[in-house]
Amino acid sequence: MTSLDTQLEIIRRGTVEIVPEPELVAKLERSAKTGTPLRVKLGCDPTRPDLHLGHSVILRKLRQFQDLGHHAILIIGDFTGMIGDPTGANKTRPSLTIEQVRKNGESYFQQASKILDSDPAKLTIVHNSTWLGPMGFEDLIRLASKFTVARMIERDDFTKRYNSNEPISLHEFLYPLAQGQDSVHLKSDVELGGSDQKFNLLVGRDLQRADGQEPQVALMMPLLVGTDGVNKMSKSYDNYVGLDEAPNDMYGKVLKVNDDQIYSWFELLTDVSNEELAAIKTRAVSDPRNTKHDLALTLTRMYHGEEAAAAARAHFVKIIVNKEVPDEIPEFTLQADSDHRLLAVMVASGAAPSISEARRLVQQGAVSIDGVKVADVATELGKGATVVLKAGKRTFLKLLSV
C-alpha cells in the first residue's frame, strides 16, 4: 500500500486546486484503513472525436488515482453533450444529437485507453443518459429547486454574458445541475476537472450534500497551453498535438512548444520524477533547444514506443537539420486536364488545406520545387514533368504530371 504522503505527492503534482484538501486526506486515510478504493469520477462530453495532449492532462491524473489503487469512473456525457457545456462560452453553444455524441464517445474511449488502465476492476465506463434520460419533468423541477438563479449567475461566464447583454438560454442553467446529478447518482468521492470546471464540480458537492451524501472532493487541473504559447490547446486554435498523430508529426509538433512552457509540459504530460523536473526547470532556461528535443522524444515514446520515437528523431535530423528528401514520399498524379497552377495543385494534392494557406506558405518562402524556393504565387507546373514539392517543414510530395 502506497503511503499517504506518497499518494498526496502524486495527486498534488500539477494540480491547480483541491477543494477541500483536508477532506481528500480524510478520504484517503479511510480508504487505506478499510481497503475500499475511492470512486474517482471524470466526465467528458465528446463534442469532437479526437483527443490531444491537452485532454491527456486530466486523463493522466485519473490514471494516477488508478495506479494508487482507486477506482476510476469515466462518464461519457451523451446526455449532457446534447445540452452543450457553457463553460468558457461567450454565447450559447450548439448542441449535438445523442447519436453524434455516442459516436464521438467511442473514439474518445479508444484514444483514452492509451492512458487509462482499461481493466474493468479499475475502470467503469458509463453514459449519463442512463440516469438523466429517464428523469421526468417533476424530477427536473425538484432538481432545479435545489439551486437559485443568484447562485447560478455567480458563475464567471454567465456573469460576463449577463453584463454584456449576451443571451443565456435557460437550458444552460441545467448543465451544471445535470453534471452535479452525475455525482449524486454515482456517489463519487472525488471529481476531476479542468480549472474552468470549478463551478460545475462544486455544484456536485452541493447536490450530494442535499441528497444526504458525503460531498465529493473537487480536484482541478490546469488547462494546457498549446504550441502557440498563448491559448489553451485546441483544434480551433490549430495549436494542438493529437494523441493519434503519426510519430514524425507528433515529434515535430512538440518542438513548436514555447520555451517557457517546456517545464509545464514535462510536469503535466510525462512521468519524469520530481527530482528530474527540478533539473529540467533549470535546463529549459539554459538549453531550451535540446530540452525541447528531449520532451519530443519522451512524448513520442509514450504514445508510439521506443523504436518509433528514435525513428522520428532521426527523421527530424534528416529532413529539418540536414534538409534531405525522405526515402519514401507520397505521390500525386496531376492529370493533363487538371489545373496546373501551383496553389491549386497544393490544395488538390493535400499539401495545403486551402488556397489562402497555400498562398501564405509560398509568401513565407516555405514552398520549394526540386529544392528551389518558389517566390511567385502564380507559378504553374509544366506538363509531363516529375518534381518533388516541399510545403512547410515536413510535407513532401512527388508530383507526376501527365
Alpha-carbon 336 to chain mean position: 43
- The structure's pTM equals 0.81
Q: How confident is the prediction along the chain (402 residues), in pLDDT tens digits per residue?
A: 689 999 999 999 999 999 999 999 999 999 999 999 999 999 987 777 788 999 999 999 999 999 999 999 999 888 887 776 666 554 545 566 777 777 777 888 888 999 999 999 999 999 999 999 999 999 999 999 998 888 888 888 888 888 888 888 888 889 899 999 999 999 999 999 999 999 999 999 999 999 999 999 999 999 999 999 999 999 888 899 999 999 999 999 999 999 999 999 999 999 999 999 999 999 999 999 999 999 999 999 999 999 999 999 988 887 776 667 776 778 888 887 888 888 998 999 888 989 999 999 999 898 988 778 888 889 888 877 788 888 887 788 888 876
Count CB neighbours of 62 within 10 A.
25
Q: Pairing between strand 71-76 and 39-44?
A: parallel
What SS3 state is found at 68? coil
What SS3 state is found at 217? strand
Q: Grid coordinates standing for 96?
A: 449535438
Residue 326 near residue 312, CB atoms below 8 Å = no
> Pick from 190, 155, 162: which is nearest to 91 by CA?
162
Q: Grid coordinates standing for 228?
A: 502557440
> Pick from 315, 320, 267: which is nearest to 289 by CA?
320
- CA–CA distance, 206 with 88 (Å, rounded to integer): 21
- CA–CA distance, 186 with 188 (Å, rounded to integer): 5
- CA–CA distance, 125 with 394 (Å, rounded to integer): 38
